[in-house]
A and B are shown apart, each in its own frame.
Chain A
Amino acid sequence: MKKLPTRVKYWRIGEPMVWLSGAALTTTLLTAIVLLIVIMVNGLGVFWPSDIQLLELKDGSRIAGTLTRTEPTADKSGLRRQYKIANRDLYGLDFRWIDEAQIAHEEIPANMLTLERMEYGDFYGTLKSLGHAGQQDPATFAQLESALAVVKADLDGLKELEEKLTAASYRMEKLRLKTLKLDYNKAPADNPERLEIESEKEQIKAEFADLLEVQLSRTAKVREATAVFVSGDGREKEVVLADIVRAYTPNQMSVTEKILFYAGKLVELFIGEPRESNTEGGLFPAIFGTVMLIFVMSLFSFPLGVIAAIYLREYAKEGLLVRIVRIAVNNLAGIPSIVYGIFGLGFFIYGIGHSIDTLFFPERLPTPTFGTGGLLWASLTLALLTVPVVIVSTEEALGAIPREMREGSYALGSTKFQTLVRILLPMASPGIMTGLILAMARAAGEVAPLMITGVVKLAPALPIDGNFPFLHLDRKFMHLGFHIYDIGFQSPNVEAAKPMVFVTTLLLVLIVLVMSSVAIRLRNKMKKRYTFGTF
């Protein structure tokens, strides 16, 4: 046999194509992995209690802070470090760059503590004294902790009062709406219902006033307890104990304590409410809003997409029109999502929402009830956005079923509908699930259309609560994707918010991952049941 030159052989075997396709796959995977690693490195470290360093600079000034990063100076002569110096109320900024060359001396004093506060971010410093407004006595960290525990118990008691106040104002609002309705129906002033409402209103008002008075006096009493702290540069600061969320001494904590602390912060992240224009605290409302949005979206998009695909594939007569419809559906997936948002705003909110308001809640106008952004409209908009994905995958799944299956079923005397329900849909279910997974993933990552259909920076209430009818789809909601945009780009203090951006991103990725894995598991189960394992 003639021996082929190596070059020719190389091409015949097709090695370049193997390399090319391998490289393409590697590039994709690498980018995704790098992205994930960046998010994880930045996001996972946020809650770790780092040591507070006390620096003495060559000019004699002293600074306390946690090291956030190190990089070469602008003239490349040395390194400079970025410290989080906290104490926003004293310094006006949270971060400071310091050239290593300026540092005369650095130490990690054991008595440094971190305060997480309701306002102005963290405080780094040492405890000086504890007491009431005018009277202060020197105290230890243990004393501070027990004082904080007392204050916390008082605050929890106040929370009950606050819940009562919220309930009262909710009832008041209901009565206000009832009065509006009576006004709208031109009920006379001596209408018995109206009188009843008025008396009830008076009652609630009195109740409210009493509650408020108790709350005010108790709050004032709680807020009397204060402590004085000294910052790294020696300035004193009096802090109301009720404003302290958490106090800890990172420099004294062992690794186990740090891990426990970290876990506690994670729990807070999942179940807590946000604070400080969302840059601190938990993300529960946003997590809840995101999951709920995707859930309601699937509820609309899944049946709609599957049924539409069934019509296209099984009932519509193949022809020019069907082909045009199919191309149109495919192209729908390529429309920028903001366009869907605008459509949702125009059609769902101003069109349908406003019509609902005029029909059912005319007395409340011009204040909209459904004629404004809300979970329902955002879900519908997203459903519209994702329905092409479901249609395409369902159609493909139905089309991939061998003709013999249909014929076999028809030959036994089954109708088209029976064949569809008993044979075709179960066999297509793994493919349909794939479509749903893609749709959910796409919906979870969408932010632009939500911004004009009902997402807000801070929602006053969750879409589900204990008040009838329990599910409030007209309410505005929070969303992790919007949260990222909001704290990352709209926050007054972007540098301080940065860690939270990474945490939120990580969480969003995690949610998508969890939902997809559940769906994929389900799909694999179906696949096992409904397809041939071997041939």
Chain B
Amino acid sequence: MAKLEIENPIVQVNNLKFYYPGNARALHGIDIAFPEKQVTALIGPSGCGKSTLLRCFNRMNDLIDGCRVEGDVIIDGENIYNRNTDIIELRRKVGMVFQKSNPFPKSIYENVIYGLRIAGEKDRSLLDERVETSLKGAALWDEVKERLHESALGLSGGQMQRLCIARAIAVNPKVILMDEPCSALDPKSTARVEDLIGELREDFTIIIVTHNMQQAARVSDNTAFLFEGNLIEYGLTDQLFVKPRNKQTEDYITGRFG
């Protein structure tokens, strides 16, 4: 298996196995490391385990009754599957953007500061400032600055997704997980979100799951190809797409299956 040597990875995964309820194994021992402040894409056919792997990084899989995890995920020097991990703290450190945009039925303002509010932040000026920086960071500020206190449900699909990104970066995470963030968007909105990912790279480590190989090629620095719960190939995006070392990878990226 092709491996990418990474110094000081921010996320380090060692022999990760994941079982869905009923002992159905979805990940068969994944070893992978993610470099800091780069964009890494996870690609692979449906059901290959890329979303499952992504959801292991903020322990979103804990919400599934009866699932089981083996192996280590070390984020920022700590194994998040330790018994005494503070999940709340972890999820503040590892933000997530979902496939379907999911703004809360609140105002735009309240949506952005939701993470801060539940953490107990009350300082009005800090909240105001954070709303502005986060919305600017998500390239949404100019479109919504006049109607911050209107319902977020009145935004367009692309705006909603950027709002979700603003919401994620408002709590200042180290890592942002993106689970097919553009799959429900039209091409124009997709382009804007992709541009945004490029800008966010400066400040955050981004791990993005995508179905769309062109997108992976456009936005990511590194790409990992998963197939049937195994990591098949992991390398620099430029190399992986141009000269894949593995036959299966080549078949997939050339469209022979998947």
Chain B interface category by residue count: 20 to 34
Q: Can you name the residue of chain B whose Cβ is closest to the Cβ of A535? A: B157
| CB closest residue in chain B, given A404 | B102
Cβ-neighbour of A418 out of B105, B118, B153 (below 8 A): B118
Would you give the 0/1 interface string for B107-119, flagging 1 where the beta carbon is closer than 8 Å to chain A? 0000000110111
Say whether B2 faces chain A, with CB atoms less than 8 Å apart: no
For the complex, give the distance between the alpha carbons of A529 and B60 in Å: 28
B87-105, CB < 8 A from A: 88-92, 95-96, 98, 100, 102, 104-105
Contact, CB under 8 Å: A413 / B92: yes
In the complex, chain A residues whose CB is within 8 Å of the CB of B168: 411-412
Docked-complex contact A405 and B92, CB < 8 angstroms: no
Whether B129 is near chain A, meaning CB under 8 Å from some CB there, is: no
Question: How far, in Å, is A425 (CB) from chain B's closest CB?
Answer: 11
Instruction: Please report the C-alpha to C-alpha distance between residue A415 and residue B118 in the assembled complex, in whole angstroms.
Output: 8
In the complex, chain A residues whose CB is within 8 Å of the CB of B164: 408
Q: A402 at interface (Cβ–Cβ under 8 A)?
A: yes
Task: Please give, as numbers and ranges, the residues of chain B lying within 8 Å of A409 by CB-CB distance.
Answer: 104, 114
B contact residues around A414 at 8 Å (CB): 88, 114-115, 118
A318 to B154 Cα, complex, angstroms: 35
| Minimal beta-carbon separation of B92 from chain A (angstroms) | 4
Residue B65 lies at the interface, judged by CB distance under 8 Å to chain A: yes
Nearest CB of A to B109, in Å: 14
Known A412-B168, A530-B105, A532-B153; contact A407-B119, beta-carbon cutoff 8 A: no
Q: B104 contacts A423, CB within 8 Å?
A: yes
CB neighbours of B60 from chain A (8 A): 407, 410-411
DSSP class of A's interface residues: helix, strand, loop or mixed? helix
The residue on A at minimum CB distance from B154 is A533
B133 at interface by CB-CB < 8 Å: no
In the complex, the answer to whether A413 meets B89 with C-beta atoms within 8 Å is: yes
Q: Would you call B115 and A404 a contact (CB within 8 A)?
A: no
Taken together as a complex, chains A and B put the C-alpha atoms of A413 and B167 apart, in Å, by 12
Contacts of B104 in A (CB 8 A): 405, 408-409, 422-423
Chain B proximity mask over A509-535: 1 for CB below 8 Å, otherwise 0 = 000000000000000000001111100
From B91, B153, B154, A413 is in contact (CB under 8 Å) with B91
Q: 10 closest A-B pairs (Cβ-Cβ)?
A: A404-B102, A412-B115, A411-B96, A413-B92, A408-B102, A413-B91, A530-B105, A414-B118, A418-B118, A413-B88
CB within 8 Å of A: which residues of B?
58, 60, 63, 65, 88-92, 95-96, 98, 100, 102, 104-105, 114-115, 117-119, 151, 153-154, 164, 167-168, 171
